[in-house]
Structure formats: C-alpha cells, structure tokens
Amino acid sequence: MNSLPLNEHSGEEEIDRAETLRRQANDIGAARSALDSAASMARGLWISFISLSAYLAIAIGSVTHRMLFLEEPLQLPIINIKLPLVAFFWIAPILFLVLHAYLLLHLKFAGDNIREWERLTKLGLRGLPDVDEGQAIEDSLRMQLPNFLLVQMLVPPKANRAGIIYLALTATVLITVIVGPVLLLSLIQLQFLPYHNWAVTWVHRLLIVADLGLIGLLWPLVLGRPIRSWRTPFQLATYVCAIAMLWISIIIATFPGERMYQSSGLGIQMLRSYLFEGSTNEVDGRSNSWFSNRLVLTGQHFVDLGDDALKNTETTQSFRGRHLEQAVLIRADLRKADFTDAFMDEAILDRAKLGGARFGCGRTGKSDDQDISDCTKLRGASFELAELQGVIFQRARLQGAKFQSADLQGASLSGAALQGASLEGANLRGALLDHAWLQGASLYESKLEGAILGMAHLEAANLDWAQLRGAMLFGAELQGASFLHTDFTGAKLDNALVWRIRAPMPENFEFVTSSQISWQTKFRLPNGEIAKSDSEAYARVVAQAMDSVTIEETRGAIVASLAVLDPDQPDPKDSLGKDAKRFWDNFQAAHNPPNDASYLTNRANYLADLACQNDAPLTRGLLRDHFEPSSKGSITSMYSQRHGIAVHILDGLEMGTCPGAIGVGDDALARLHDWAPDWKPNGDGSASFRRLAASFRAVLDPALFVAEEIFQ
C-alpha cells in the first residue's frame, strides 16, 4: 500500500528531468556557446590550413627540373630543413589530404551548430505577433555571431545576404576550402610529372580523386543540403569542372613511357602536346608549353671538376635506372655520367658533352647474359653534334637514334642495337661496333678508320662515301649494304657476307684482306640454325631486326631498307648481279695473296701511318686488333711486323710526328715497348728514324724521305 506514493514520486522526478533536458536542448544560450566554440576551433584550423597550403605551394613551386634531374633534397622555406625529394612528393600530399578531410569535418560540425542556433532562434521568435519585429531581432542576433567566414556565409545578416559582400564571402570560402586544395594537389602532380615515377604519380592522381570525393560528400553536409538537391546551373558546372580535372589528371597529364601515354588517341595527343610538350626555347632553356611532362635542361653544366680532377674521377653523376624519356639535354655537360639501365627513349642530347659517359647494361645476376632488359634504352634518341668520345653504349637499345656529325671516337657500341639509326658524318674512328645490329642504318660519310665491326649486322646499311680504312669487318654481315665510293683501304673483310652488296668499287680495296669471303650465302641465322627456305630465313632476319623497335617510323624505315634482301625479288640494279662471282674471285686473288710477306709489310706500314695521322682512339684500336697473333695463323696476321710498327710509332711520338700516339694511355705505350724492347730514346730520334726509313723505303710516305735526308 506504500508503493503507490513512491511510484508517483518517481514518475514526477522523471518528468522533471525530461523537462530539464528539454529546456537545455532548447536553450539558445547553450547553442550560442556551442556555436562560438565550434567557430573558434574551425577558424583556427582554417587559418592553419591556409598557411600550410601557402607553405606547400611555395615549397613545391621552388622545385626545378634540375632538382628533379639530380634528385637534390628539397630545402623547406623558413625552417631550412632538407628532405629527400621523392619522399617529400610521396608523403606531403597524403598528409595534406588528411588535414583537408579534418578541416571539412570540423566545418561540417560548425555547420551543424549554426543550423541548431538558427532553429532555436526561429523557434523563440515564433510567438511574436509582429513579423517585421521578429526579423529585426533575428538580424540583430546574427550580427552578434562570430565573424568567421563560414558563419557569415551560412547565416548572414540582411545587409550581407547579397551583393559584392556575400559574393566575396562565398568566393573566399570556396577558394580556400574547395578549389585551392584540389589545385594544390594538381600542382604537386604537375611539378613531379617530369620525374617519370609512375607509382608516385598514381598516388597523386588517386589523392585528387579522393579529395574530390571528400568534397562531394562533406561539403553538402557543411551547407546542410543533401547531394540530390544540387541541381542548379552553378552546381552542375561544378560537377563538369571536377570531371574535367579528373580527365586531365589521369588521361592528359601523363608522361612518356606510361602505358596510357602510348595508347592515347590523336585528339588527346594534340591537347597533351599543347599543354605539356611545347618546343624548347633555347634562349632561356624553358618549354614553350604551359607545363612539362619531361625534363628540359638546356645548356646546363653538371660537372664541377677541372680537367685534371675529371681524369681521375670514374663517375661524376649517377642516373642508373632512371626514367628520362624525351628529356631535353641540349648542350648539357654530362661527361663521365653513368646512365646504366636508364630509360631514355627519344631523349634529345644534341651538342651535349658526354665524353666518358656510360650507357651500358646493369648486372642483375641473371643467368642469361644475352638478356638486354637491363640495358640502357635510347630508342629514337638524338645525339647530333654531341661529344661522345670514349662513351660506352655496349648492348644499348639505340634503334632509330640520330648521331649525325657526332664525335664517337673510341666509343664502345659492342652489341648495341642500332637498327635504322642515323650516323651520317659521325666520327667513329677506333670505335668498337663488334656484334652491333645496324640493319638499315645510315653511315653515309661516316669516319670509321680503325673501327671494329667484327660480326656486325650491316644488312642493307648505307655506307656510301664512308671511310673504312683499317677497319675490321671480319665475319660482318654486309648483305644488301651500299658502298658507293666507300674507302676500304687496309680493312679486314675475312669471312664477311657480301651477297647483293651495292656499288662495290674495286679501286678502294687496297691492302684489304678477305680470306673466305662469302658472296653466295644469303643469310646467317643465329646459333647455326638452318631455315627451310630463303624466304623463311629472310622473314626471320626481318623479325630479328625489328625486335624491340617501338617507334613506328623506325619500324617502317627498317622494313623498307631490308626489302633489298627479299630473295623473291630480283637483284637491285646497283648490285653486281650475275657478275658477282667474277668480281669476288678477282678480288680475293688480288687481296689475299698466299705467302706474300711484302703485302703484309706494306699493309702493316699503311696502318701504322694511318694510326699516326689520326687520334688516340684509332691508334689504340689498331694496336689492339691488327697486330695481335692470329688464332688461325693465317697470312692476315701482322704479328711478325710488330717490332717495326712499334719503332715507327715510338719514334714518331718522340719526334712529335705521330699525333695519333699522343694520349693513347699507359697500357698502349707499354704494349709498344713490349713489341720493341730494344727501342731507346735517341734525343732527336734520328737513329731510329733512319733505321725505319731504310727498312721500308719502298712504302713510306714521301715526306718521310725528306725527313731522312735532313737527319743524314
């Protein structure tokens, strides 16, 4: 019987608590306090976010193509802390997106507080009979709200609801909270784009997608409007701009070497070319396009060493494995730089200084030593008028590359893929081109004195007017090559394939050796393989020449050049045709005389004179490849003539009459002294010179006889 009053008392307490909570929920003072707190928090975050955005924009805007090329650390402004460049571009945009999301969430919470205050204000003014008085009171209350831009944009007083003030409010908020962050992320992508790192660039693209998604999800909640209510022209235009930005970021802003870059349509390529691939202004070294998707560094120096220090330095800069596709390095100084296994397709290095640089293959520990996947890719690259003395291009992919008038003295291109390359007028004296792939290449007017082209693939190559004096072409595949006015004096053509060669000139074959030259063998397949028919062999030769050739223009040029080897087609008009047998029989009878010691003596001295008349790379090549013991003991070996040759060169070096011996290096000089251990300096060199002149009076240059008479 006592429980009823107790239950009544408990029910009254619950009603009182509910009434208290209702009053608190409708307490406009509490709502105003919560709004002030949220606005203060959001204002601090907003100012910090703007400051961070400006700071990042300055830091990222200071990144130059030189910094990207050299991977220089990024020095942050004001605090002067250096950060790794790639790591900065990886981490900074991620942290920026997190902070942007944090700001949007706080703005959403502030928007909720604003709308709650507005609801309670309207609820409190509902009982006033005078509507105008209620609006005036509400407007006064709005004037008392914090001067945070978001608050003033969502609940502006009457004076600020339209006109330039409201437009400025809205524009400031939208630029700093919506547009600015997306543009900053786009700036990060565009600034880093020339570095050609697909992983980091895709992170940038995904962050832009994520940021646009956050804006589309959270900004309507900040405004208190559901997404489906966005149907005004301005809002639709916003959607169109967002889609356009995504399209540019993912489809247009790509770099050479990316899969999407290769698969783009013509319209996309034209737009990309306009925005990112303008011509280079060689005056200020900048691209004429709005942005750039490749490194542009013209006329810049990357070697700070003097000549003496450079000689003792193995590597000045390392770019091993880097992606430098279509990089513009015109007139750049990159001597002794290491580009091993770099990706440099269609790079432009015209007139660059690259002496002693390396463009070879890296060692990955793979068992297949024929694998070239780790070799430098330079397909379609341009080296016109470049200084390439002593450069290493071993097994590099150089299909369609341009070397017009480049200086390649002493360069190593052993095993290099040069199909369709242009080496017109190039200086290749003493260069190593053994086992090189030169099908369809143009070596018109090139200087190949003393070059090594043993086992090289020169099918359908153009060697018109080339200088091949003293060159080694043993085992070379010369089928279909053109030799109009080519100078082969002193060259070695042993075991070469010469089927269908064009425009051979008998008068240019003085002192040539050519044992076992083959004019009937059409094709030589790798690993001794035998084709079922000549047509099948031809198809395999063409396929082999086209291997790894990615540029369509180069592919077409190679196929057109090799058409001269099609066995189903008649002999070219400028080839020997039916006279081939008689020509080559007469040739070998005249240039491979059995047991003719005088022939070898004359040839050896011709090569020695040639070495003295040219530069050190040629001299080193001749010493290395012409005067070593022959493995077969054939008459083409000049091993027995080494003593006289060494005396000739050493005397000329002492007297200053052998410029080709200057700078040959200690190894070559030691070899000469080994060949002539009895040679001693003679002050003026007269004794040795008289001895050499007496031994080879019949073959020496007339100028030498004049010198002999002077010494007598």
Residue 470's nearest CA partner among 455, 490, 454 is 490
Confidence of residue 710 (pLDDT cuts 50, 70, 90): very low
Please compute the mean of the pLDDT values over residues 281-299 and round it to a whole number.
85
Residue 544 has what pLDDT? 87
Is 252 within 8 Å of 291 (Cβ atoms)? no
Task: Indicate the pTM of the whole model.
Answer: 0.81
CA distance 329 to 331: 6
Task: Indicate if the pLDDT at residue 629 is higher than 60.
Answer: no
Quick check: 576 pLDDT over 80?
no
Q: Point out the least confidently predicted range of 55-59, 63-67, 582-586.
A: 582-586
Q: Are 409 and 618 a contacting pair, CB within 8 Å?
A: yes
What pLDDT does residue 340 have?
95
State residue 495's pLDDT score: 86
List, in order, residues 6 or more apart from 282 with CB less than 8 Å away: 298, 299, 330
What average pLDDT does this structure show over 622-640?
48
The pLDDT assigned to 228 comes to 61
pLDDT beyond 80 at 612: no
Is residue 690 pLDDT above 70, yes or no?
no
Output 166 or 210, whichever has higher pLDDT: 210
Sign for the CA dihedral angle at 659, 665, 668, 673 comes to positive
| Residue 467 C-alpha from the chain's centroid | 32
Alpha-carbon span 91 to 99, nearest angstrom: 13
Half-sphere exposure of 528 (CA within 13 A, CB side): 0
Question: What does the pLDDT average to over 656-661?
Answer: 66
Q: Which residue would you say has higher pLDDT here, 295 or 514? A: 295
Predicted local confidence at residue 524, as pLDDT = 83
- Residue 305 CA to residue 309 CA, distance in Å, equals 6
486 vs 10, more confident: 486
**Percent of the chain that is helix, strand, coil (3-state, to 5):** 50, 5, 45
| pLDDT confidence tier of residue 308, bands split at 50, 70 and 90 | confident
Q: Tokens 């240019």 — which residue?
A: 508
pLDDT band at residue 550 using 50, 70 and 90 as cut-offs:
confident
Does the pLDDT at position 86 exceed 90?
yes
Q: Between 701 and 586, whose confidence is greater? A: 586
pLDDT band at 614 (very low <50, low <70, confident <90, very high): low
Looking at per-residue confidence, does 616 or 191 come out higher? 191
Lowest mean pLDDT among 80-94, 440-454, 642-656, 684-698: 684-698
Q: Is the model's pLDDT at 596 over the cut of 50?
A: yes
More confident of the two residues 231 and 108:
108
Higher pLDDT, 643 or 219: 219
Residue 34 vs residues 122, 124, 154, 217: alpha-carbon distances, Å: 17, 18, 16, 24
Instruction: Give alpha helix (H) positions in 318-409.
Output: none
Encode pLDDT of 194-247 as tens digits: 999 999 999 999 999 999 999 999 999 998 876 665 567 777 788 888 999 999
d(CA 183, CA 93): 12
pLDDT band, residue 701 (cuts 50/70/90): very low
Distance from C-alpha of 205 to C-alpha of 210, rounded to nearest angstrom: 9
* pLDDT band at residue 692 using 50, 70 and 90 as cut-offs: very low
Query: Residue 438: is its pLDDT beyond 90?
Result: yes
What local confidence, expressed as pLDDT, does residue 6 receive?
Answer: 53
Report the C-alpha gap between 287 and 296 in whole angstroms. Answer: 7
Yes or no: say if 481 and 463 are a contact pair by the CB < 8 Å rule. Answer: yes
Q: How far apart are CA 213 and CA 229, in angstroms?
A: 17
Instruction: Please give the mean pLDDT across all residues of the chain.
Output: 82
- Per-residue confidence at 425, pLDDT binned at 50, 70, 90? very high
Average pLDDT over residues 12-23: 73
